[in-house]
Amino acid sequence: MVDYNLIEDIGLDQDATAKLLREAFGDKPIDEDLTAIMTRAGASIGSPNSVIKGRIVSISGDYVIVDVGLKSEGQILKEEFDDAGGVSPGDQVDVLLEEIEDEDGNIVLSKRKADRIRGWEQLLQTKKEGDVVEGKVLRKIKGGLLVDIGVPVFLPASQVDVRRPGDVGDFVGRTIRAAVLKIDLERRNIVISRRKLIEIEREDARRNLLTKVKEGDIVKGTVTNIAEFGAFVDLGGIDGLLHITDMSWGRVGHPSEVVRIGQEIEVKVLNIDREREKIALGLKQREPSPWEEIEKKYPVGARVRGAVVSLMSYGAFVRLEDGIEGLVHVSEMSWTRRVNHPSEIVADNQEIDVVVLDFNKDKLEISLGMKQCEVNPWDLVAEHYPLGTVITGKVRNLANYGAFIEIEAGIDGLLHISDMSWTKKIAHPNEAFKKGDEIKCVVIEVDQEKQRVGLGVKQLTEDPWVEAIPSAYRPGMIVKGTITKITNFGVFVELEDGLEGLLHISELSDQKVENPMDIVKAGQEVDVKILRVDTEDRKIGLSLKRAQWTAGAGGGRDETPSTEDDAFILPKKAKPTKGGMDDHGALGTDKIKRIEE
């Protein structure tokens, strides 16, 4: 008679079930074996342990007096009647005759036990395993609940709900429906499962729902669970997901800000995956999108006011109205300051003015700018600092290629290393300046589009290559100099502070020279003859061997150009390859080996 397969379906072990039942009911849930009592229930009136008809004679205090046709009347406690207040003299009742005469000479009757016997009889006649029953939860017992369905039955805690509740005691006093899981006549026990019934009903409802529901429908459901990413809503047989991004057009920090467990809500069906039995739901889609007329409310160039709602490393989100937020990128916060994090400029909940730069209606994005609310100081740079303006500024930073000079708050100019000296070769700006130095410069370039200002120090003085150097160092002159650098292609000779000439390897000796160090040493003073002065490329070509020729011929300091030696001031555009200057670049700065004296 017992459907063990049904029990195994929901994971109940037979021995474990029997143990729970014994703990719930005991070996004899009533004073005597109900099967035996039921066997004698049809015996003649007056037989002990038989169910007989009686008539209520009167009500006296806590007792109901019942006449069963014997020599005396019996009395039954009011509490044995389900509705004691509705009991009236003359009513017919079934009672169990427990004893014809007790030690005091009274008959002993029980209404409750008679009800149980009748209940068993009716239950066995009308119900079988798998049928649905309804009853009231009486109390919490070890392992589950005791439920009255006409007779007390056991509801295991694991079978109370699909998701095991935190405290099954919350069901006490509630009327529930459940499926009969097991009827054991031998042990006089019944096990029921509310979970099994719910699963069956949900499966039917799920199939029905997936058949009828379609995208765009407005459906009712109950919130069953909340997670970080959204809430699950029971639509009646299947749970749909209400994602956090579909809860409100505005910003939602956590789903619990919008819904709560057990809340009944109306949602819109956004998507149905019938194969995977998944439904996506939306709450905000039940209302018109505030982005529908965004181009009218917030046209590009409009200046609006909003509140900062979130700070990210790349910018700040500003709420313009409920459901509409825009991003102010860090690059759009200041014309002059380099902003590393938006917290340097704004704070959460701060109200600020912004200008609409752009929007993407499809992606629901608006680009905003703060600096556009102010005049761009770079628009005035050309006006305030025209070319040739002499300024005094502080060295704010040094780079390999130059120094950044602060012209005014937020406006820096670049002093390139090539604009630091007319004659001195500067490899790094720290050879001439250090951070914090105040220096005088002249504006030599302004690029408003790229927001750049070019500065120069050497331009404060006249270019010596225009007149001073060509007049002081004429081709054919023999001058003294100090060897500063030796390279594989020649030697650099310092003629005066900051001015060098190139003594090409071919001009060191009449003999072929493989290594210049075989002829000269660093720091050595030498007499050299000026071969060429290139004012365009700012180079002076020198010759050691020609100076020695002149000295050997008895000549002294020759200041007259020699056509024999092919010495001359090089015209512009001419590019010599020998005679003291070649293609190795400005003063031969590549492949230089510094030799200590």
Whether 35 has a pLDDT exceeding 90, the answer reads no
- Exposed (0-12), middle (13-18) or buried (19+): which is 183, by Cβ within 10 Å? buried
Q: Give the pair of three-digit tokens for residue 335.
A: 């014309």
Please tell me which of 98-102, 308-312, 567-571 the model is most confident about, judged by mean pLDDT: 308-312
Question: Which of residues 460, 495, 528 is at a domain's end?
Answer: 460
Please state which of the ranges 73-87, 364-378, 414-428 shows the lowest mean pLDDT: 73-87
SS3 label, residue 459: helix
Q: Are residues 491 and 581 in the same domain?
A: yes
Which of 85-99, 363-377, 435-449 is predicted least confidently? 85-99
Q: Are 404 and 414 in contact (CB under 8 A)?
A: yes
Better-predicted residue by pLDDT, 349 or 18:
349
Confidence check: pLDDT of 86 > 80: no
Radius of gyration of the chain from its Cα atoms, rounded to whole angstroms: 53
Residue 205 within any structural domain of the chain: no
Q: Which amino acid is at 288?
A: P
Q: 570 pLDDT exceeds 70?
A: no
Give pLDDT, residue 480: 92
The DSSP call for residue 273 is E
Dihedral over alpha carbons 69, 71, 72, 78 (to 10 degrees)? -30
Q: Could you tell me where the beta strands, DSSP code E, fall in 349-498?
A: 351-360, 365-369, 390-399, 402-408, 411-416, 438-447, 452-456, 478-487, 490-496
Between 337 and 438, name the one with better pLDDT.
438
Instruction: Reply yes or no on whether the pLDDT at 42 is more than 50.
Output: no
Domain span at 278: 213-286
Please say whether the beta carbons of 217 and 269 come within 8 A: yes
**Average pLDDT value for residue range 119-130:** 76
Asked if 409 and 425 sit in the same domain, the reply is yes
Does residue 292 fall inside a structural domain? no
CA 492/CA 425 separation, integer angstroms: 12
How far is C-alpha 482 from the chain's CA centre? 66
Cβ distance 159 to 195 under 8 Å?
yes
Q: Are strands 568-569 and 525-534 parallel, antiparallel or unpaired?
A: parallel
Whether residue 44 is predicted with pLDDT greater than 70 in this model: the reply is no
Residues 175 and 323 in one domain: no
Report, as an integer, the average pLDDT of 331-355: 89
Both 20 and 51 in a single domain? no
Does pLDDT of 83 surpass 90?
no
Q: CA–CA separation, 217 vs 240, rounded Å?
A: 13
Residue 131 lies in a domain: yes
Question: For residue 81, is it within any domain?
Answer: yes
Q: How many domains does the chain have?
A: 6
Between 295 and 575, the more confident residue is: 295
Q: How far apart are CA 417 and CA 4, in angstroms?
A: 94
Q: What is the strand order of the sheet 108-110 is part of?
A: 74-77, 63-67, 50-60, 92-99, 108-110
Judge if 267 and 335 occupy the same domain.
no
Q: Is residue 208 part of a domain?
A: no
* Whether residues 411 and 447 fall in one domain: yes
pLDDT bucket at 574, cuts 50 / 70 / 90: very low
Domain boundary (175, 198, 221) is at 198
pTM of the model: 0.43
Q: Which residues contact 470 (CB under 8 A, 6 or more apart)?
A: 533, 535, 569
The reply to whether 478 and 580 lie within a common domain is yes
Residue 330 contacts residue 272 (beta carbons within 8 Å): no
Question: Model confidence at 596, in pLDDT bands (50, 70, 90)?
Answer: very low
Residues 150 and 270 in one domain: no
Residues 505 and 548 in one domain: yes
DSSP H or E run through 192: strand 189-193
Residues 6+ apart with CB under 8 A from 62: 77, 78, 79
Q: Cα-flanking dihedrals φ and ψ of residue 418, to 5°?
A: -75, -10
Instruction: Classify residue 393: in a domain, yes or no.
Output: yes
The answer to the question of residue 455 being in a domain is yes
Which CATH number belongs to the domain containing residue 77 in this structure? 2.40.50.140
Three-state secondary structure of 291-334: CCCHHHHCCCCCEEEEEEEEEECCEEEEEEECCEEEEEEHHHCC
What residues form DSSP beta bridges with 183?
190
Q: What is the mean pLDDT of the segment spanning 43-67?
A: 78
Asked whether residue 565 is domain-assigned, the answer is yes
Q: Alpha-carbon distance 597 to 12, whole Å?
A: 98
Q: 11: pLDDT confidence band, cut at 50, 70 and 90? A: low
Taking all residues of the chain, what is their mean pLDDT, rounded to a whole number? Answer: 80
Q: How many CA atoms lie within 13 A of 54 on its CB side?
A: 31
Residues 73 and 185 in one domain: no
Q: Which of 208-217, 247-256, 470-479, 546-555 has the lowest mean pLDDT?
A: 546-555
The pLDDT of residue 563 is above 50: no
How big is the CA angle at 124 (ends 121 and 127), to the nearest 5 degrees?
Answer: 135
Q: What's the whole-number mean pLDDT along residues 309-325?
A: 90
Whether residues 450 and 422 fall in one domain: yes
Q: Residue 106 gets which letter from DSSP?
A: -
User: Are 477 and 455 part of one and the same domain?
Assistant: no
Beta-bridge mates of residue 63: 60, 77
Report which residue type is found at 123: L
Of 398, 427, 460, the domain-final residue: 460
- Beta strand pairing status for 390-399 and 438-447? antiparallel
